[in-house]
Structure 1
Amino acid sequence: MDVQSILYFIFAGILLVSALLVVTVPNPVHSALFLMLSFFSAAGIWIMLQAEFLGILLILVYVGAVMILFLFVVMMINLNLSEPRKGFKALLPWAFGLGTVVVLQMGAVIYHHFNVKPNLDVLKNLMVDGSNTRKIGQVMYTEYAFPFEIAALILLVALIAAVAITLRHRKDAKSQNASAQAQVKSSDRLTMVTVAADMSAHQTNPPTPVVAETAPVAPPMVVAGSQEKK
């Protein structure tokens, strides 16, 4: 057994164990971390199969972006772990049934793959320029353009759902409703009121003139010394 086979079995074993722990550990944060470990193991297997672009893309996109988003959402929504555990035993038969269906489907695909002889001409065309990145791009955007757009739409829906889950309406938060502001008419904001002039009140009760009060003038003071000199 060569070194490549040993590395393959190591990566495959880590991938299987981490994938099993993703669905069995009760803590969602630990589950996301084990999913990151499974992505790393799958990327290692792809690199060993000379699919370097897919391996690096798996690490950069899924581990570096998607899983960080998952961890952010899980930590922000503050999940109550006691509620999901209540109906866990009741859903075990459904889980085993769906798991059996998935295993049978994967087994059928693998069995069909081993019975079909590979097309060597296609493999030679893929390795003409020494890299499969260009060929993957050509196949993805020509033959599989529609599934690629569907996958992008699913990721967009998942992103919007993550934002909607973490969005919490606060009572003390003030916000503007642009739709309600645009629908307001001028008559709703300003009301013109016509008031009739009442002249009878001015005729019956004429205004009383206001007389200013003057302060009394003090009499002149007579000094005795001044009269003797005169």
Structure 2
Amino acid sequence: MDFKSFVFYFFSTILVLASLRVITARNPVHAVLFLVLAFVSGGGIWLLLDAEFLAMTLILVYVGAVMVLFLFVVMMLDINLDRLREGFWSYLPLGATVGALMALEMGVILGGSYLNLFESSVPSAASESNVKAIGRLIYTDYVYPFELASVILLVGIVAAIALTGRKRKPTKAIDPARQVLVKASDRLRIISMPAEKKE
């Protein structure tokens, strides 16, 4: 087994184990840390396939989105942050382990490509980058699935806005067209009343 196969199986094992821990962990902080580790391992596999753009997109978009979503959920659920801070040191061993694994994965990928330990299995033209190749495939061979995915995302956005939108309260704004049409007789009425008698 060559070095590239070893790295693939190493990343795949970490990815599968981290994915299992995401759904079996009872603590949401642990689940998010394992999810970040799973995304980084998936990004390492993409790097092995010479798809640097997809790997960086996976890490930047998904890891960033997951952490922002987690913080949003924590703020929406009104969790007592003082109690979370009390157990900060109990999360340190797991966080350090996950961080060390991610650093090790990145070191293996970057060191292996620097030392030319990986043989490129996908031939690519010297003048064509990954981004250009992905764009060409998306807008030629996979244009219909891409359009379908964009329509589904648009429907999801509209549905989210419709579900979260509230009815607007009636405003007390004045309509200028109705003000122009007003006559003095509609606003002022003179009434003739008998004078009061003094006793």
- Please report the TM-score for the alignment, with normalisation by the length of structure 2: 0.57
Mapping of residues 133-172 of structure 1, within 5 Å: 133-152=131-150, 154-155=152-153, 157=156, 161=160
Unaligned segments of structure 1, at least 5 residues: 81-122, 170-175, 207-230
In 2: Cα distance, 1:17 partner to 1:158 partner: 33
Mapping of residues 186-225 of structure 1, within 5 Å: 186=178, 192=187, 194-198=189-193, 200-201=194-195, 204-205=197-198
Aligned to 2:43: 43
- C-alpha spacing 1:31/1:178, structure 2 compared with 1 (3 Å): farther
Aligned to 2:70: 71
**Worse-matched range after superposition: 153-162 or 126-135:** 153-162
Could you say what secondary structure the match of 2:191 adopts?
coil
Kept in 2: contact 1:11–1:42 (CA 8 A)? yes
Which amino acid in 1 is paired with 2:12?
A: A
Kept in 2: contact 1:28–1:74 (CA 8 A)? no
User: What number of residue pairs does the alignment pair up?
Assistant: 151
Q: Once the two structures are superposed, what CA deviation does each residue of 1:124-158 show, in whole Å capped at 9, x if it has no partner?
A: 5x545363321111111233234334434555636
- C-alpha spacing 1:16/1:68, structure 2 compared with 1 (3 Å): same
Q: Choose which of 165, 174, 177 in structure 1 pairs with 2:169.
A: 177
In 1: Cα distance, 2:147 partner to 2:63 partner: 21
- C-alpha spacing 1:63/1:154, structure 2 compared with 1 (3 Å): farther
Which amino acid in 1 is paired with 2:141?
A: E
- C-alpha spacing 1:185/1:159, structure 2 compared with 1 (3 Å): closer
Which amino acid in 2 is paired with 1:14?
A: I
Which amino acid in 1 is paired with 2:191?
A: A
Which amino acid in 1 is paired with 2:138?
A: M
Could you say what secondary structure the match of 2:47 adopts?
helix
Measured on the aligned residues, the alpha-carbon RMSD in Å equals 4.2
Aligned structure 1 segments of 4 or more residues deviating by more than 4 angstroms: 152-156, 158-162, 178-187
In 1: Cα distance, 2:170 partner to 2:148 partner: 32
**% same residue:** 35
Kept in 2: contact 1:18–1:34 (CA 8 A)? yes
Which amino acid in 2 is paired with 1:194?
A: R
In 1: Cα distance, 2:20 partner to 2:78 partner: 21
Kept in 2: contact 1:29–1:74 (CA 8 A)? no
After TM superposition, give the deviation of residue 74 of structure 1 in Å. 2.1
Structure index of larger Rg: 1
Could you say what secondary structure the match of 1:23 adopts?
helix
Could you say what secondary structure the match of 2:46 adopts?
helix
Q: Once the two structures are superposed, what CA deviation does each residue of 1:161-198 show, in whole Å capped at 9, x if it has no partner?
A: 49x77x9x9xxxxxx736775889958xx983524122
Unaligned segments of structure 2, at least 5 residues: 80-121
More helix per residue: 1 or 2? 2
Which amino acid in 1 is paired with 2:69?
A: F
- C-alpha spacing 1:32/1:184, structure 2 compared with 1 (3 Å): farther
